[in-house]
Structure 1
């Protein structure tokens, strides 16, 4: 049996996440430290540690996932992550660097996958922006709730990247192929009303306090049920979905390891740094 003290120790001194408990409900809050809770190296290292620890804790029966401040997450922290990827993204990168990049993509996929893999139901409470990697993470949750000011974007196409951390695999079963293709091809932003209409979120609440209160109430309602039965329900619901997701993640990781380095990606990064519109040439 897991030692609760050891589990608690794993959740101390986190840089990007905060974990709190209330009864049988754990609350995980994104902290940044980058603006808008952007997801840098600390986040990708700590996310699986947190969710695996909570999965091992028999006292935790449901999990609320939310963001600190006004926004859930701006997504991948490009300035923090790109320097470590320079070897992989060079236009002349050979098999060695590309193989390392494949492993890096799969490491990030496993971080998000830890949210989906936990046996405890996960409820995402989203306010403000939820972009790119933020959508990957909430797609791995079981239930999504939003405040009226929430905005969502599968934005990777805007920076010359094929989304590879789960949105393209998990959202089809949540919002349907047509809506997913529209969001992924355009990279456009949608508001909470549209997100509710297409089924990305279950319900919309007036503000951040209201959505967080609703998520906590729902988590406590779930936690009041027989925990092993709830976990069994999640396991049964997830079995076919996660098999399909795993196959899709393996394919996209290989695709990006082979094709992600491009002149368009370099242009996207340069335009991001210079705060201008990119000019893509299909190169």
Structure 2
């Protein structure tokens, strides 16, 4: 089904609003904390593909509903379809299927980066895992003072594979990226601004959203084809490296992700306890 920016009304996980030449995409969940389940991964590329194709849209604001941007991947919703693979005994068939699944999710996130229209992410509250992948694909990131960020995949025995490891190096530098990805620690808005993950920090959610809308309107007032050209030329600096990195990590995870540590990490997450990893 092809969506236009005008008929994006039958969505479950996202809402699209328009104000002049600016579109606003809001994460809705429906899981707690706008966690990213099957509906999100299906709808994200549809929405950004439609906005990319709409000549009336010149800039996009991306934000979350409620108090948080996103808790990241909705593990309880996504795990059932991965059960055969995550059991640790998967042969070539299940591994190949999982490789395709990882690449499908990667392409969903990449649809944010690939749209010709500049994307401004307005982040409040938690932005974890997949949430960081998505804002890393945006052009500009703004935060409220209560925002917290975490490249947390390592905590559940997963190599982050949806874009953070490929895109954040150019945004925050390799040293900061390695620290965040290897520890899985949380950082606050002040640290995020200091390392360049966000451009500015605003007092609260209302203020950061207002700032994002103002910035999007300022961009939208410029000649649209020139703005798109600027984004296209900038993408040439990193696009091939990002694409190659995504292909590599998807193949790496298809080969090496199943482990006792992964099972322990997932079980500990579901049981809300600390995991105990053995390197198996």
Task: Tell me the secondary structure at the aligned position of residue 236 of structure 2.
Answer: helix
List alignment gaps of at least 5 residues for structure 1: none
Show the counterpart of 2:69. Answer: 72
Show the counterpart of 2:230. Answer: 233
1:6 offset after TM fit, Å? Answer: 4.3
Tell me, in whole angstroms, the C-alpha distance in 2 between the residues paired with 1:223 and 1:279: 50
Task: Tell me the secondary structure at the aligned position of residue 102 of structure 2.
Answer: helix
TM-score normalised by length of structure 2: 0.98
Tell me, in whole angstroms, the C-alpha distance in 1 between the residues paired with 2:240 and 2:158: 24
User: Which 4+ residue blocks in structure 1 deviate beyond 4 angstroms?
Assistant: none
Tell me, in whole angstroms, the C-alpha distance in 2 between the residues paired with 1:222 and 1:8: 21
Answer yes or no: is the 8 Å Cα contact 2:4–2:51 preserved in 1: no
TM-score normalised by length of structure 1: 0.97
1:7 offset after TM fit, Å? Answer: 4.0
Show the counterpart of 1:16. Answer: 13
Q: Is residue 244 of structure 1 aligned with residue 204 of structure 2?
A: no
Show the counterpart of 2:216. Answer: 219
List alignment gaps of at least 5 residues for structure 2: none
Tell me, in whole angstroms, the C-alpha distance in 1 between the residues paired with 2:97 and 2:160: 18
Q: Is residue 144 of structure 1 aligned with residue 141 of structure 2?
A: yes
Tell me, in whole angstroms, the C-alpha distance in 1 between the residues paired with 2:45 and 2:6: 15
Tell me, in whole angstroms, the C-alpha distance in 2 between the residues paired with 1:36 and 1:138: 16
Show the counterpart of 1:123. Answer: 120
Q: Is residue 258 of structure 1 aligned with residue 255 of structure 2?
A: yes
Show the counterpart of 1:32. Answer: 29
Residues 112-191 of structure 1: pairs in structure 2 closer than 5 A: 112-191=109-188
272, 277, 280: which one aligns with 1:280: 277
Task: Tell me the secondary structure at the aligned position of residue 238 of structure 2.
Answer: helix
